[in-house]
A and B are shown apart, each in its own frame.
Chain A
Amino acid sequence: MVAEGIPELVYYLGFVLVNTLALVLILILLVSPRDRKPTPEKRAPFESGQIAVGRGRTRFIIQYYPYLLMFVVYDVVAMFLFAWALNLRALGAAGTVPVFIFVTVLLVPLGYALHLANRPENW
């Protein structure tokens, strides 16, 4: 069904799927009973029987921060690689050389980040 307009298909899909599913979920949520008798024990954070002490949002695994940064950058790289991959057979060398240089250049910060990543003393 390659219809007359791709944008129309895309928003039709989005609109109907999301709305119909949301309708079903709202109906089920309406059925779920609410918390009629909240007691402090019921609403306390669950720790398998222990009484929770301290902040809820505790330890941060900050030493893995470079991985997150790498993810952002390489998501962008993936975007350009996808543009390249699409037209591979038609592009030939003129299109491949820029991409090759692009990827090689961007392997440098990857190496640096991985070098830093597993050392807790850096953070």
Chain B
Amino acid sequence: MTDPAFVVIAAATVIGAIMAVEARDLVYGAASLGISFLGVAALFILLDATYVAVFQIAVYIGAVVVLILFTVMLVGPVKGEAPMELKRTSLFAAVLVSMFLGIGGSLANANAFPGADMCGASCDLQKLSQTLLVNYGTQLEVLSFVLVAAVIGALTLAKAEKD
């Protein structure tokens, strides 16, 4: 019924996310997060959104994970504990959430967006660019302000306080 590639990739994504949350050693957690992002990029490819997938890899794994790793390495390791520890309750919670997502997902899929413009294998990058910049130009500007706010905020927070 479902594409085996999808099942494998989705499993990898979810397992990566679970490990990212559960890992004791934060560096392992950040690396698992990177794997999870890789899974998301693969899912984008399955959805014929190759442009988004490529930039998912470049921005999320290439930049965000690096930033997280750098910050985590600052904190230092939790001494004397194994890097990974799966408690029974968190495993149960993970299975439950996956079941809900799976059921919800198949319900959504069954009535998915009839008549929507499904992008085939020859997905038009030109059209993507056109839509993004012309139709959503205002949103792009708002996005730029969000980014500016994020940067200035992060820099200000990270600055040492003058005593």
Direct A–B contact in the complex, CB atoms closer than 8 angstroms? yes
Seen from chain A, the residues whose Cβ lies within 8 Å of a Cβ on chain B are 4-7, 10-11, 57, 60, 62, 65-66, 68-73, 75-80, 82-84, 86-87, 90-91, 94-95, 97-99, 101-102, 105-106, 108-109, 112-113, 116, 121-123
| Chain B binding surface, main DSSP class | helix
Seen from chain B, the residues whose Cβ lies within 8 Å of a Cβ on chain A are 5, 42, 45-46, 48, 50-51, 55, 58-59, 62-64, 66-67, 70, 73-74, 76, 121-123, 125-126, 128-130, 132-134, 137-138, 140-141, 143-145, 147-148, 150-152, 154-155, 158-160
| Chain A binding surface, main DSSP class | helix
Chain A residue numbers with a CB within 8 Å of B122 are 6
Q: Which residue of B lies closest to A2 (CB)?
A: B122
Chain B residue numbers with a CB within 8 Å of A116 are 155, 159
**Contacts between the two chains (Cβ within 8 Å), count:** 128
Chain A residue numbers with a CB within 8 Å of B143 are 102
Partner of B67, one of A7, A62, A72, A105: A72
Q: Which residue of B lies closest to A76 (CB)?
A: B59
Chain B residue numbers with a CB within 8 Å of A121 are 160
Partner of B154, one of A4, A69, A108: A69
B124: min CB distance to chain A, Å: 10
Q: Which residue of A lies closest to B148 (CB)?
A: A109
Partner of A105, one of B51, B126, B144: B144
